[in-house]
């Protein structure tokens, strides 16, 4: 029987009403006690790393999780991280970059309703996440939620209340989980050769969503606090092209100052292509401007923080950013 380490961090799954709204209260041990069927799946040990609402999750907490996994990596066959749903996609992406090419599975899960709620989805999510972590074909970082296993860089919270809260964006789900059966559409990919651990991030990354008439002078205002802007453009890659070329001046000045711009789209599916319209072509081959293609914004935030945490050299940064990691972007053919 596989040996799994469960890392509890809080979230709705661990929450209880305290008179001021839901807040994390239950320990990992208490949560496991609600699902006695776990004993049929794996040998389980539990670490209570933190107990917070995931709204309060920060990059320093991602580093704590990665360090915990690294510390216990040789002693276990897999890992399950209990996490709040609101920032789970960010954490799953971050762990994909902090623990790369892991032959052992690192699975994140949580719930839309607390474990003690009579209509909770927590019990099945916890059971199925451990089932997936204990399977012979699972590896790397994934999210298991609502009967679906999703690559850690492709998960996004799509619904605020429904049990099927997460979707896989621009990439097929890794597997479906039906009760106690894991169903894959094809053969599982070969186990990677890692793991490779990283322990540095650059937190000075911000996301800007273009809106009509947004003043491009915002780039100048952001300079003291940020090294990279992830800009969510219109449509397939549209950036306003006014008579005064104010957006071009602002963006080019940003990258010429040694900072980074990552261009993506605010449209959820199918990705970016700057070469389609005239309003995007000025940015296609400009040094310092990286293209997010069909990556999620959550993955772009985490990858940019990771890449800038490893280097500030423009060429090395570009190489790290465009390297496919845990299915975050399709390799160039």
d(CA 209, CA 281): 19
Give how far the C-alpha of residue 156 lies from the chain's centroid of Cα atoms, to the nearest Å: 8
For the chain, report the end-to-end CA distance as a whole number of angstroms: 40
91 annotated to bind ligand: no
Count the Cβ atoms, other than its own, within 10 Å of residue 71.
Answer: 11
Is the bond leading into 256 cis (omega within 30 degrees of zero)? no
Burial of 243 (0-12, 13-18, 19+ CB in 10 A): exposed
* Helix or strand run (H / E) with residue 230: strand 228-233
Q: Is 265 part of the annotated catalytic residue set?
A: no
Q: Is 200 a catalytic residue?
A: no
Quote the CA–CA distance of 231 and 297 in Å, as a whole number: 9
Give the active site residue among 9, 12, 153, 297: 12
Is residue 86 marked as binding?
yes
Q: Is 54 annotated as a binding residue?
A: yes
- Beta partners for 151? 142
Looking at 85, 87, 109, 265, which residue is catalytic? 85
Sorted by sequence, the CB contacts under 8 Å of residue 277 that are 6+ apart come out as 235, 236, 237, 238
Per the annotation, binding residues are 54, 85-86
Per the annotation, binding residues for substrate are 54, 85-86
Catalytic residue list:
12, 85
């Amino acid at each position: 029987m596989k040996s799994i380490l469960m890392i509890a961090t809080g979230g709705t799954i661990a929450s209880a009403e305290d008179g001021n709204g839901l807040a994390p209260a239950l320990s990992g041990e208490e949560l496991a006690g609600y699902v006695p069927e776990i004993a049929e799946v794996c040998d389980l040990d539990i670490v209570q790393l933190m107990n917070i609402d995931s709204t309060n999750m920060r990059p320093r907490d991602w580093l704590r999780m990665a360090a915990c996994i690294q510390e216990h990596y040789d002693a276990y066959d897999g890992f399950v991280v209990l996490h709040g749903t609101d920032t789970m996609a960010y954490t799953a992406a971050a762990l994909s970059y902090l623990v790369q090419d892991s032959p052992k599975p690192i699975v994140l899960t949580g719930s839309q309703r607390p474990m003690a709620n009579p209509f909770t989805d927590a019990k099945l999510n916890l059971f199925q996440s451990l089932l997936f972590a204990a399977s012979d074909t699972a590896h790397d970082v994934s999210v298991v939620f609502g009967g679906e296993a999703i690559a850690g860089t492709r998960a996004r919270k799509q619904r605020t209340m429904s049990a099927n809260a997460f979707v896989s964006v621009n990439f097929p789900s890794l597997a479906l989980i039906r009760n106690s059966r894991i169903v894959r559409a094809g053969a599982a990919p070969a186990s990677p050769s890692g793991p490779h651990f990283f322990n540095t991030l650059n937190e000075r990354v911000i996301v800007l969503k273009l809106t009509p008439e947004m003043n491009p002078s915002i780039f100048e205002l952001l300079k003291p606090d940020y090294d990279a802007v992830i800009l969510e453009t219109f449509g397939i890659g549209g950036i306003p092209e006014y008579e005064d070329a104010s957006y071009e001046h602002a963006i080019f000045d940003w990258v010429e100052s040694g900072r980074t711009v990552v261009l993506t789209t605010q449209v959820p599916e199918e990705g970016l292509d700057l070469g389609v319209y005239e309003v995007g072509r000025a940015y296609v081959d400009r040094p310092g401007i990286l293209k997010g293609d069909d990556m999620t914004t959550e993955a772009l935030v985490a990858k940019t923080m990771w890449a800038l945490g490893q280097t500030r050299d423009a060429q090395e940064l570009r190489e790290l950013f465009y390297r496919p990691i845990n299915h975050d972007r399709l390799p160039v053919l």
